[in-house]
Structure 1
Amino acid sequence: MPVALDLDEHPVLGVEGDPAEVARVARWVVGQVLVLHPPSEVEVLVLGRVGWMGGLVRAPHVSSAGADGLHSLADEVRRRDPGPPTT
């Protein structure tokens, strides 16, 4: 069953479960994003190994992150959503 996801409202998507099923679903989701959006509109950041992606990894939308990339991602998330105000 198709599911619509507003990427502006929900910019991070995670998939969990059986590794083979996760890879299959993730390839499908990433493929849809790559086909429906130009690189100027969306970036696909892969955390961890990219082997499950097959040829999708060569798309201009895709980048991967090691430890430095994870820190940069965390900084970007905090910049975009600083959380509830503190008193």
Structure 2
Amino acid sequence: MSKELPNGTTSEDRRVGATLRNFRQMRGFKPDQFASEIGISRPYLANIEAGRRPLSDVLLARAAEVLRVEQIAIMIPAALPSEVA
């Protein structure tokens, strides 16, 4: 279970945001370019990546499509094999 942080987001929001940032960087997208591709502002993307805003289902779907990854890869990073196994 995710712990709620003072701003109303959760530790999961922070993890998902960091994973999204990692995928964006691995695919070579600059923040402005990626934000435009998924239909949000650069500041809003920064808030998602920092875990200050949750990633909505709609934005998750758009991001996964642009990044060419499965949605689950953003939500549950492969870097946690002991939790998945």
Task: Please state which band the TM-score falls in when normalised by the shorter chain.
Answer: under 0.3
* Structure of higher RCO (CA pairs closer than 8 Å, 6+ residues apart): 2
TM-score, normalising length from structure 1?
0.27
Greater helix content? 2
TM-score, normalising length from structure 2?
0.28
